[in-house]
Structure 1
Amino acid sequence: MKRRTFLTTVAGVTTTALAGCIGSSLPQPASDYDVGMSHHSYLPEAVEVRVGETVVWGNSGSRGHTVTAYGGEIPEGAAYFASGGFEDEDAARDAWNANPSQPEGGLIAPGETFEHTFEMPGTYGYVCIPHEPQGMVGTVTVVEK
């Protein structure tokens, strides 16, 4: 085999092999989610949807994030939401502290999504637990159909 042919073949195989590894860390297209998660912010920080609609958060950054409702900032009687499926804010924070950077702690890894369907009108405040000190908070306002 000629050297140039060999190098071309090796480069093509290496590129193909690495594409699977690299692909999962590339940002998702914005059409795949409603709210992106970047370095230390939700983009956009505030969204408005109608009752019964689902919001999809997509981690388009390179760090793990959470979506954790503030228990005192959701309408009374509304379903609580948090990545990891926790029943309340305390459980979500306890799980994150016990398992930081793990799915059981609520981690949404780069390239992954989390979604929640909102059934009650009102304003819902939420936070990324590990990036709360940097101000990573957001709101979803849900309006009647």
Structure 2
Amino acid sequence: MHRRAYLAAVGTAASTGLAGCSSALSVLEDDPCTGDDCHIGMNRTEFLPAEYEVSVGDTVIWKNTSEADHTVTAYEALIPDDAEYFASGGYESQAAAYDAWDDRGGRLGTRETFEHTFEIPGTYEYFCIPHEGAEMTGEIVVSE
């Protein structure tokens, strides 16, 4: 009888201790890029943060902070007219990025990064090719 009481107490203590850990992990998932190594992280189906503001000439670094493969792919029609197109893998158009994904081109594996420098003010919308259906999208707002 004492053994059951002991096991019940240990189980309750372990559950309580792990509850605190899961809270800490969820905080990290909300903001996976707190250091200098990245500005925008990626969980399973989200860019974190989904909206990011920078100034002209700033470089943004995305980092795959999840176990899934991702891309960073600009919506060609949703960036400023004179802006340089950007996509992980260095593709020059949205169509080229889509075509390359068939062979896993532009893929960012776990902990891999992609960076782009924004030279034209405006709003830039982008997405992750394999998770576009899950609405994994983001927005960069560039001001002067």
What TM-score do you get using the length of structure 1 for normalisation?
A: 0.75
Which of 80, 84, 95 is matched with 1:79 structurally?
84
- Pair 1:139 & 2:144 matched: no
What TM-score do you get using the length of structure 2 for normalisation?
A: 0.76
What residue is the counterpart of 1:30 in the other structure?
Answer: 34
TM-superposition CA deviations, 1:58-83 (whole Å, max 9, x none): 11001110000000000001000000
Aligned residues: 113
Task: Quote the RMSD (CA, aligned, Å).
Answer: 1.3
Which 5+ residue runs of structure 1 have no aligned equivalent? 1-26
TM-superposition CA deviations, 1:11-65 (whole Å, max 9, x none): xxxxxxxxxxxxxxxx976311000011000000000000000000011001110
User: What is the CA–CA distance in structure 2 between the aligned matches of 1:83 and 1:108, rounded to whole Å?
Assistant: 7
Which ranges of 4 or more aligned residues in structure 1 deviate by more than 4 Å?
Answer: none
Amino acid at match of 1:106: G
What residue is the counterpart of 1:69 in the other structure?
Answer: 74
Amino acid at match of 1:134: A
In terms of mean alpha carbon deviation, does 47-56 or 28-37 score higher?
A: 28-37
Which 5+ residue runs of structure 2 have no aligned equivalent? 1-28
Larger radius of gyration: 2
Once the two structures are superposed, the pairs formed by residues 97-136 of structure 1 within 5 Å of their partners are: 97=102, 99-100=103-104, 105-136=105-136
